Each structure stands twice: as C-alpha cells, then as structure tokens.
C-alpha cells in the first residue's frame, strides 16, 4: 500500500506575530510540522504498521521546510519530496500550491492508494489544498476524519461534522484530510532521527516541473496584512463573590448589552 | 459594473442557516444592482423562499432532490457544477461551513478559480471586491482580491451584518431537477451519530461558555453546560481541557480547533495561552473567571472575576435565571 502525506511547515502555535514592513516576520520563530499535518503523518505510519507499504511525505515550501520533512522521516515516513519555492512564497495561493503538488506527482510518477493531508494549516487556514488536489486527481476525498479503517480496497471512516460524527464507506484510491482527535502523534526517537538523515529526500525547483507559469500562477493577490487592534485589559470586578456576579450580570445587561 | 452573484444556501438538517443571510448581505453589496441568485439544494426548499426574498434574493433556484438531503461531496460538487453552468455567475458565495469548506475548493479546482476562504468582511472599493480574512487563526488579518475572472469566496458565520429584511421585495423561483447516476457517488454515508451536546453550533453561537484545565474533570463541565443552557449558548473548551480528556476535541477553541467570534465569550478556568486566545480574541465581549489573578486571560477580557469557577458559575447561572425568561 502506498501512502502520500502532504504537509506544510508552520510557525509553532505559541508564537506571537510581528509585522515588519507589512510582512509577518519569521525572525527567531520556532517552526513545526503543521499540527493537522502531524496527524496525517502519524496515521500513515499506523496504517503502514498494519498493512505494510511505503510512506512518501511531500511539501511545497522554502528551503527550511526540509526540517519538517526530516521530522516526518524521523517519525517513520520512508521518503520525502521538497518542491522549493523560496523566491515565490508571497505569490503562491491555494490554486498554485495544488497545481504544483499535482505536477510533481505526475513528474515523479508517484503512485498512491491513500493521500493524507491535514484538514487545514494553522497559518493560512483556508482548508483548500486537500479537496483541490482530490479534484485535480479525480479521486474522492473525505475531510476532517477522526477514524479510518482499511480492508483491502474498502475504507470505513468516521468524520467530524461540527461536533457530530458521520460514518462513511468508500474505496481506495482516496484522499482524506485529518482532524484533531484522529490520533496522538508520536515523538521521533533518537534512532529515528539518526535514520531520517539517511532516508531519501528529493528536491525540485518549480522549473523542474512540467508546468507553464500560467498553470500555477496565483489567482488571488494580497493587498495588505495587518494585526487586529490590541485588546486591552478591562475591569476586574470587586466585592464578595455574590457582589461580583451581580455586578457582572448588570454590566453584561446594561453596559455591554450582550444579553 | 454590476456583478451577477450566485449564493449557495447553507442548510443544516433541512433548515436554513443564518450565514446564508449574511452571504446575501454581501451579495447585494457586490451585485451593485445586478441580479442575486440563490440556489437551495435538498427537499423542502420551498419554505425558504420568503426569507431569502426578504433578505435580497432576486431569483431562487430550487433543486429539490432527496439525494441532496444528506451531504455527500460528489453529489454536491456535481449539483453545484450544474447550477454554475446554468447561472454563469460573476461571483459565487457560500458559508464557510462543513459543506462550504468541502465543496468550494473542489469547484474552484474544477474551474481553475481563485477562492478566498473564511472571509470576515467583504467590501467594495471602486467596484473592486476586497476580501478580508483572518490568518494564524486571527492573530493577523489579510486583505485579498481576485484580480480577474469569477469571484469566489466562503464566508465565516457571525461576521457580516445582515441588511434589514424587506417584506415588500419580490423574487422569481425556478425548480430545477438534476438526475444523479449512483455510480458517480463514491462515498456513502452509513450513519450520523449526534454528539453535539446542544443544537447550537460553536462557530455560529452568539454566546460561548468555555472551560479550561481549571474545570478539572469531565464532571466539571456540568455547571458550564447549565450556564450555557440558560443563555442559549454553546459550550467550548481550551486545548488543555481537551488534552486532559475532560471533553471532546470537537469542542476545542484555538489555533488548533475552532475559531469563534460570538457576542459574548465566558472563559472559565482558562489561563489564556496564545494558541487559545487566537481562537476567541475577536469575540465582542469577553468575560474571564479564574482563580489566578495573574492569568493572561485577564489581559484580554472586558470583565474579570478572580475566583473559583465552581462557586462563580453556579451563582451566575442563578442570577441569569432570574433575569432571562426560561426557554
């Protein structure tokens, strides 16, 4: 069974954002595998442990994204592909990224039974890449999965739908996007990290792919990035607990008018 | 320079969702006098005609096929394509909901379109549509445009203000049928298990009562649920509470988890980690209840009570019961 995991390197979620010249600064920022993509890596490893096969991890991103791929290899993926986009970062949108993934799959004749992507990235948060890629590959997809069971070509899935759970039957080949609750990603072990250094990682430039610039040119453009107005601390209520509660209700009702 | 706008109505369990009316408000702005078309998928759609008309629809397409009552990706993608080919819109809008998130990217890929997801505001500047959306779960925002071609966006519930309904408006309706071959449907829904504690969806809730590590156990969420019931609120949680196993991950609010923007957010026993704050700091009014006076949550809250949530929350429930009519 061949598993393909598409992942993105993102800021750690505990990072504060700083704007420099209208751009989000990555000075001194801690980078991680996008947490949703980490569920995808973990699930691929668990499925491989059950059914055998090979796991390829793939990312489109700057040079530093190799680190995220190495982490996935250290967790247990077998090989990695990096499409390097250092000069293009700002100009690529979801249309571009999905076209680039599609192109590298074609160029490398990568075969897959199951593709796993995080349901969304914690930075861009558009949740588009998985479904877009499935459409380009003309395969079905199921998003926000919290459980998956494979039996030959048959797939049974539990999917989170705004708090409720939907049970789904489908078949491979398939793309799934992974939701929180699917699994608890493992930490790489020291031997895992050592091994990962020797696992194959192929690098591509955008020019290496069978694409014209028109094919992956962004369909959307950024005008401005801004930080929301800073919240300032409000009032700490005083008095006995009873008095504080009474005062809170009064304020919510008359001052904030949210009741 | 008007634009013909197509809105796909969002329904849950057969009922129209508020975000559809919010999409209609955006649609009217963008249309600049051109037609606003709304497509309603699934049976029993006729009942939505009046409200859609009052909120700005000019033409309503009813695709009352029973296979559209339960959402499946393939059926919806094909149905949307059919509607889009029929209407030939200049702009497509829908809610950033379970359905919108799932169909819209496939539609965008099918037609090779740009898509701006999860917009919190849509404005016109010299006839150009400016889409504003959060990034990093609201730690920052970005303004984007689609320079040419069909405009396409999904709208985050609870953010775009409704225009007042106008009962004197009129709209035309049209029934369209669309046959689906079974073999085109590659995923099959076998069962839906209701787990959500109340019928109120977190992302659309007007009030959210949320618990953190300070709630201490699964049992500890009970007083929060009681408060939520009185307020007609949804219950949420921080990552700390979810990781500790006090509640389901479906309730998690934060940069991982859901982003919420209710009118009122009541944080109980939540310290205010950066990743949690990203998911709720755009709430209009924030109340924090925490034992620790130095908890960072007080830095972003409008009203704070330093105290034990197990004392404060039941008292608050009692006070509110006196004030609010029981529903």
Beta bridge partners of A117: A6, A177
**Closest Cβ–Cβ partner in B114, B141, B188 for A170:** B188
A102-134 residue pLDDT tens: 999 999 999 999 999 999 999 999 999 999 999
The region that residue A18 occupies, defined by phi over 0 for left and psi between -120 and 50 for alpha, beta otherwise, is beta
Residues B315, A242: C-beta atoms closer than 8 Å: yes
How far is it, in rounded angstroms, from Cα B323 to Cα B316? Answer: 11
Other beta carbons less than 10 A from residue A142's beta carbon: 25
| Closest CA relative to residue B133, chosen from A9, A12, A126, A20 | A126
Name the pLDDT band for B195 (thresholds 50, 70, 90).
Answer: confident
Other beta carbons less than 10 A from residue A232's beta carbon: 8
Please name the residue of chain A whose CA is at the shortest distance from the CA of residue B272. Answer: A14
- Chain B residues inside the 8 Å CB shell of A36: 256
pLDDT of residue B199: 64
The region that residue B183 occupies, defined by phi over 0 for left and psi between -120 and 50 for alpha, beta otherwise, is alpha
B109-146 residue pLDDT tens: 999 999 999 999 999 999 999 999 999 999 999 999 99
What Å distances lie between residue A21 and A124, A226, B221, CA to CA? 19, 11, 45
B156-187 residue pLDDT tens: 998 999 989 999 999 999 999 999 888 889 99
How far is it, in rounded angstroms, from Cα B91 to Cα B93? Answer: 7
Hey, which CATH number is domain A2-216, 3.40.50.1100, 3.40.50.720, 2.40.50.100, 3.40.50.620? 3.40.50.620
How far is it, in rounded angstroms, from Cα B268 to Cα B305? Answer: 10
A185-235 residue pLDDT tens: 999 999 999 999 999 999 999 999 999 989 999 999 999 999 998 888 889
pLDDT of residue B80: 98
- Region B5-184: CATH code: 3.40.50.620
Name the pLDDT band for B65 (thresholds 50, 70, 90).
Answer: very high
Residues B323, A252: C-beta atoms closer than 8 Å: no
Please name the residue of chain B whose CA is at the shortest distance from the CA of residue A160. Answer: B250
What Å distances lie between residue A254 and A258, B207, B284, B305, CA to CA? 8, 16, 15, 18
How far is it, in rounded angstroms, from Cα B217 to Cα A200? Answer: 46
Residue B327 clears pLDDT 60, i.e. is over it: no
| Closest CA relative to residue B120, chosen from B79, B150, B72, B155 | B155
pLDDT of residue B198: 60
pLDDT of residue A111: 95
Residue A25 clears pLDDT 90, i.e. is over it: yes
pLDDT of residue B204: 84
pLDDT of residue B203: 83
Name the pLDDT band for B197 (thresholds 50, 70, 90).
Answer: low
A149-195 residue pLDDT tens: 999 999 999 998 877 899 999 999 999 999 999 999 999 999 999 99
Residue B15 clears pLDDT 70, i.e. is over it: yes
Other beta carbons less than 10 A from residue A240's beta carbon: 9
Residues A131, B113: C-beta atoms closer than 8 Å: no
Beta bridge partners of A82: A59, A203
Domain ranges of chain B: 5-184, 202-323
Q: What is the pTM of this model?
A: 0.94
**Max Cα-Cα span within chain A:** 71
Q: What is the CA radius of gyration of chain B?
A: 21
Residues A258, B284: C-beta atoms closer than 8 Å: yes
**Closest Cβ–Cβ partner in B140, B191, B282 for A24:** B140
Whose tokens are 């702005």? That residue is B29
**Mean pLDDT, all residues of chain B:** 94
pLDDT of residue A231: 81
Long-range contacts of A154-161 (CB under 8 A, 24+ apart): A155/A114, A160/B249, A160/B250, A161/B98, A161/B192
Residues B195, A219: C-beta atoms closer than 8 Å: no
Residues A95, B112: C-beta atoms closer than 8 Å: yes
Domain ranges of chain A: 2-216, 229-259
Architecture of domain B202-323: 3-Layer(aba) Sandwich (3.40)
Residue B4 DSSP SS3: coil
A30-48 residue pLDDT tens: 999 999 999 999 999 999 9
B270-321 residue pLDDT tens: 999 999 999 999 999 999 999 999 999 999 999 999 999 999 999 999 999 9
pLDDT of residue B323: 86
**Closest Cβ–Cβ partner in B108, B257, B311 for A241:** B311
Contact B116, B146 (CB under 8 A): yes
Residues A15, B257: C-beta atoms closer than 8 Å: no
Q: Supply the DSSP string of B140-198, one letter for each residue.
A: EEEEEE--SS-EEEEE-TT-SPPPPP-TT---EEEE------GGG---EEEEEE---SS
pLDDT of residue B196: 60
Q: What is the mean pLDDT of residues A59-77?
A: 97
Name the pLDDT band for A148 (thresholds 50, 70, 90).
Answer: very high
| Closest CA relative to residue B260, chosen from B279, B274, B278, B242 | B279
């Amino acid at each position: 069974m061949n598993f393909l995991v598409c992942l993105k390197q993102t800021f750690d979620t505990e990072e504060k954002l700083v704007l420099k010249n209208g751009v989000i600064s990555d000075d001194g920022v801690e980078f991680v595998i996008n947490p949703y993509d980490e569920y995808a890596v973990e699930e691929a490893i668990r499925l491989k442990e059950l059914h055998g096969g090979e796991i390829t991890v793939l990312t489109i991103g700057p040079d530093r994204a190799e680190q995220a791929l190495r982490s996935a290899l250290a967790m247990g993926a077998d090989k990695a592909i990096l499409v390097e986009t250092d000069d293009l970062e700002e100009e690529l949108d979801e249309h571009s990224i999905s076209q680039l993934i599609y192109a590298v799959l074609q160029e490398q004749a990568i075969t897959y039974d199951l593709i796993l992507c995080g349901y969304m990235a914690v930075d861009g948060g558009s949740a588009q890449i998985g479904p877009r890629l499935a459409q380009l590959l003309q395969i079905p997809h199921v998003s926000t999965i919290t459980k998956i069971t494979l039996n030959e070509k048959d797939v049974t899935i539990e999917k989170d739908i705004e708090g409720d759970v939907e049970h789904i039957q489908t078949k491979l080949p398939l793309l799934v996007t992974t939701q929180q609750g699917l699994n608890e990603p493992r930490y790489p072990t020291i031997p895992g990290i050592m091994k990962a250094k020797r696992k194959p990682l192929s690098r591509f430039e955008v020019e290496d792919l069978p694409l014209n610039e028109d094919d992956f040119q962004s369909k959307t453009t950024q005008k401005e990035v801004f930080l929301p107005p800073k919240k300032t601390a409000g009032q700490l209520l005083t008095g006995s607990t009873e008095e504080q509660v009474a005062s809170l209700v009064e304020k919510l009702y008359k001052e904030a008018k949210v009741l | 320079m008007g634009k013909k706008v197509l809105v796909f109505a969002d329904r849950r369990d057969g009922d129209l969702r508020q975000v559809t009316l919010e999409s209609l408000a955006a649609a009217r702005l963008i249309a600049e006098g051109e037609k606003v078309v709304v497509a309603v998928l699934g049976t029993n759609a006729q009942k939505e005609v009046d409200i859609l008309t009052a909120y700005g629809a000019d033409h309503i397409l009813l695709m009352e096929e029973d296979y559209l009552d339960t959402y499946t990706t393939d059926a919806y993608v094909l149905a949307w394509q059919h509607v889009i080919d029929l209407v030939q819109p200049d702009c497509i809008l829908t809610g950033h909901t379970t359905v919108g998130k799932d169909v819209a990217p496939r539609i965008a890929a099918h037609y090779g379109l740009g898509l701006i997801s999860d917009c919190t505001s849509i404005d016109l500047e010299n006839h150009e549509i400016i889409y504003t959306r959060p990034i990093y779960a609201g730690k920052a925002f970005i303004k984007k445009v689609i320079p040419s071609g069909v405009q396409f966006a999904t709208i985050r519930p609870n953010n775009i203000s409704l225009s007042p309904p106008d009962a004197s408006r009129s709209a035309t309706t049209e029934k369209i049928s669309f046959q689906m071959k079974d073999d085109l449907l590659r995923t099959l829904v076998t069962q839906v298990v209701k787990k959500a504690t109340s019928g109120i969806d977190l992302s659309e809730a007007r009030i959210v009562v949320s618990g953190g590590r300070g709630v201490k156990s699964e049992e500890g969420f009970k007083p929060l649920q009681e408060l939520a019931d009185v307020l007609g609120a949804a219950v949420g949680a921080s990552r700390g509470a979810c990781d500790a196993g006090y509640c389901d991950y479906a309730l998690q609010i934060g940069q991982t988890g859901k982003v919420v923007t209710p009118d009122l957010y009541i944080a109980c026993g939540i310290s205010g980690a950066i990743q949690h704050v990203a998911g709720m700091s755009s709430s209009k009014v924030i109340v924090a209840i925490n034992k620790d006076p130095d908890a960072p949550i007080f830095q972003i809250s409008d009203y704070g009570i330093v105290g034990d949530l197990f004392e404060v929350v039941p008292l608050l429930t009692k006070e509110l019961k006196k004030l609010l009519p029981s529903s």
